[in-house]
Chains A and B, each alone.
Chain A
Amino acid sequence: EIVLAQSPGTLSLSPGERATLSCRASQTVSSSYLAWYQQKPGQAPRLLIYGASSRATGIPDRFSGSGSGTDFTLTISRLEPEDFAVYYCQQYDTSWTFGQGTKVEIK
């Protein structure tokens, strides 16, 4: 089973700043099957990025994904107040696994 390790655990930033979230896999992941989700308190997760770099429908272009192999990144170019949330990466090989999450909090 591929294990995903996200870092940092918590990111403390101010609105307007850039956020860079990392997701590292224990084995090579197909870029086609790497996704990112946003979850706010009391809500279900929402798909942000699929195929490592494609934005899901309705996702603002301040969200971008990149990476390949074992290292993937989610970047939020300028944080808006509604972006403070927990972010999860997810991969599929023979089953789905999730990273443990990165919390982006207001500094």
Chain B
Amino acid sequence: QVQLVQSGGEVKKPGASVKVSCKASGYTFTNYGINWVRQAPGQGLEWMGWISAFNGNTNYAQKLQGRVTMTTDTSTSTAYMELRSLRSDDTAVYYCTRVSNDLALDPWGQGTLVTVSS
């Protein structure tokens, strides 16, 4: 079955960086893009960006431009999201999700809690 498995939770200090991984299985990795979506505690879903697993093209949310980098490793079918200069309001659960042909998001990874605290 199609599955996305994310790395474990992280605790970071303000100003640090975090890199979250998302390992895909059950489908041809390079045939689909990957989105990253985050959810602050008690809040809604916020789209962070998209990466093509085929050619590495990216499209980042404007508010995160300059702080986020999304990459893929096709040899291991893994997507990565790095966020730099972390602030307390970056505390959230970070999800990866596959982009289907009609641009809906399915399935989703289990989520990775990133806590930013001094």
Point out residues on A near B: beta carbons under 8 Å. Answer: 32-33, 35, 37, 39, 44-47, 50-51, 56, 88, 90, 92, 94-101
Contacts and interface: CB of A to CB of B under 8 A. Distances in A.
Contact of B47 (A39, A46, A97): A97
A100 B44 contact: yes
B44 A98 contact: yes
The DSSP consensus for interface residues of chain B is strand
B59 A95 contact: yes
A56 B37 CA distance: 20
Q: Which size bracket describes the interface of B in this complex?
A: 20 to 34
B45 A44 contact: no
Interface of B: 35, 37, 44-47, 50, 59, 61, 95, 97, 100, 102-111
Contacts of A100: 44
Contact of A88 (B35, B45, B61, B97): B45
A17 to B, nearest CB: 25
B35 A50 contact: no
Contact of B45 (A45, A50, A51): A45
Contacts of A44: 95, 108-111
Given A44-B95, A44-B110, A98 B104 contact: no
